Amino acid sequence: MAPIGNSAAARDIAHLVHPYTNLATHAVKGPLILSRGKGIHVYDDGGREYIEGMAGLWCTSFGFGEEELVEAAVEQMRKLPYYHGFTGKSTEPSIELAEKLKALMPFPASKVFFTNSGSEANDTQVKLIWYYNNALGRPHKKKIISRVKGYHGVTVASASLTGLPNNHRDFDLPIAGITHTACPHFYRFGEAGESEEAFATRMADTLEQKILEEGPDTVAAFIAEPLMGAGGVLLPPATYFEKVQAVLAKYDVLFIDDEVICGFARTGNMFGAETFGMHPNSMSVAKALSSAYLPIAACVFDEAIYQALEDQSRKIGTFAHGYTYSGHPACAAVAVKTLELMERRNVLGHVRDVMPAFQRRLHAFADHPLIGEARGVGLIGAVELVADKKTKRSFDPTRAVGPTLVNFAQEHGLILRAIGDSIAFCPPLIISEGEITEMFDRFSKALDDTEAWVHRENLRAV
């Protein structure tokens, strides 16, 4: 029965549209309303405590209630609550943040452009690549290749880059000029007897064939996450990026690194590019940039791309792209403080200290009868549920086994995310080893509840 009266839940149903939600189901079931948070925990409006096993949406790296981030926002709001960057205006926080970001980059970065979300950053990447090739006198070199199961956002262009069917269905996407190559998930798409390295070679060959089919003179860029987050926490097979980058260099195709999820210590290095040997021309960052306390994101690009922007600006008279809130001073101040705290508290060192315990507990679930694959790196991972471990047969998607497990987890005080029948883990980076133990203990109870339900419902039947 739907919530009634003037409760917060009833008001939610009456007035809000929720992202990534079955709206028809929500109208009956209503929301889980969170009212406060502290550390890795959040609390609902009834006072019940949950471990936030997804750091919100892969983003709240410092957890909840970090006073130094709150104070950074308050101080800047009192000093200069807003200003823009149009027509040569600037603020000290946006300048300082750009400096700090450039210094952190694992590639030769030239300039930083601020946006408000990862979607906007990747949308901007598309525009910049088109602008870049126009500046170089290559008006036909505009196509961008993404990957099946990649996730890059939900604007018209970034949702087109995203390689997930529900982001395209009935939105009339993808737009022209954006295409997708194969998903490099070895567990699902590796062939019998094929090694990871051989699979990586086949994936690189598939990319090369896609470039040749489209025409190398028409392909401008390739975009990839270091690991595919919302596609299911899919790690690249060994040697994948080494081989892919050789193909890109062969055909003069730029490489865009989407670090929206992987950036800022999540994978055990400051950026996923360092973890997986990537050498991009440009990068998108967001989420943990401000520990999600205020919305901010950025595109960081090399000198060749920047020089094209400058040349076109000289020709046209302006660089006619930007957002009202690009480099918003309060958001930038919180991001500056976030990066300062990461260094002062040696968050990367902490991640490296606790990630072995995280990965041990995660991979131990591979022995469970419901789990086909456990995968992860750093403080991010997933388990994939299967009906048959030997054949890797998936459950009937209409039975929603993954979402059911997540519901059981919530009953045990753990918030996770189901990506189909893959269950993702991405806790705040501040999580302790003891809290990792508690998180996986709660998950273990939910997994056993799910196994009992699957048995009762006879869901393994072919």
The residues spanned by each domain of the chain are 32-65+346-457, 69-344
H or E stretch covering 156: helix 156-161
**What confidence tens digit (pLDDT) does each residue in 333-349 have?**
999 999 999 999 999 99
**What confidence tens digit (pLDDT) does each residue in 157-214 have?**
999 999 999 999 999 999 999 999 999 999 999 999 999 999 999 999 999 999 999 9
Distance of CA 179 to the CA centre of its chain: 20
Question: What share of the chain in percent tops pLDDT 90?
Answer: 98
Q: Which residue has the tokens 């926002």?
A: 73
Q: How is 203-246 classified by DSSP, letter by letter?
A: HHHHHHHHHHHH-GGGEEEEEE-SSBTTTT-BPPPTTHHHHHHH
Alpha-carbon distance of 60 to 39, in angstroms, equals 10
Residue 249 makes CB contacts below 8 A (sequence gap 6+) with none
Kindly tell me if the per-residue pLDDT of 3 is higher than 90. Answer: no
Q: Which residue has the tokens 């865009």?
A: 256
Kindly tell me if the per-residue pLDDT of 1 is higher than 60. Answer: no
pLDDT for the residue numbered 2: 61
**Residue 265 near residue 347 (C-beta atoms within 8 A):** yes
For the purposes of burial, counting CB atoms within 10 Å of the CB of 432, is it exposed (0-12), middle (13-18) or buried (19 or more)? middle
Strands 417-419 and 422-425: antiparallel
Q: Encoding tokens for residue 225? A: 């996450």
Strands 371-377 and 41-44: unpaired
Q: For the chain, how big is the Rg over CA atoms in Å?
A: 22
**Reported confidence tier of residue 222, pLDDT bands at 50, 70, 90:** very high
Strands 49-52 and 41-44: antiparallel
Q: What CATH number is given for 32-65+346-457 in this structure?
A: 3.90.1150.10
Strand order in 49-52's β-sheet?
34-38, 41-44, 49-52, 414-415
Choosing among 2.60.40.10, 3.40.640.10, 3.50.50.60, 1.10.3720.10, the CATH entry for 69-344 is 3.40.640.10
Alpha-carbon distance of 244 to 253, in angstroms, equals 11
H or E stretch covering 310: helix 303-316
Q: Which residue has the tokens 């419901």?
A: 370
Strands 254-258 and 282-285: parallel
| Residue 45: closest CA among 16, 3, 15 | 3
Alpha-carbon distance of 267 to 381, in angstroms, equals 10
CA distances from 211 to 145, 151, 208, 229, 249 (A): 8, 20, 5, 25, 12
Alpha-carbon distance of 327 to 95, in angstroms, equals 9
**Residue 115 near residue 122 (C-beta atoms within 8 A):** no
**Residue 128 near residue 309 (C-beta atoms within 8 A):** yes
Q: Which residue has the tokens 């094209």?
A: 308
Alpha-carbon distance of 105 to 413, in angstroms, equals 37
pLDDT for the residue numbered 6: 85
Kindly tell me if the per-residue pLDDT of 251 is higher than 90. Answer: yes
Average pLDDT over residues 95-120: 98
Strands 422-425 and 219-224: unpaired
Q: What is the pTM of this model?
A: 0.96
Beta carbons within 10 angstroms of residue 353's beta carbon: 12
Strands 219-224 and 143-147: parallel
CA distances from 75 to 93, 239, 331, 338 (A): 12, 47, 12, 15
pLDDT for the residue numbered 5: 74
Three-class SS state of 94: helix
Average pLDDT over residues 292-299: 98
**Residue 163 near residue 148 (C-beta atoms within 8 A):** yes
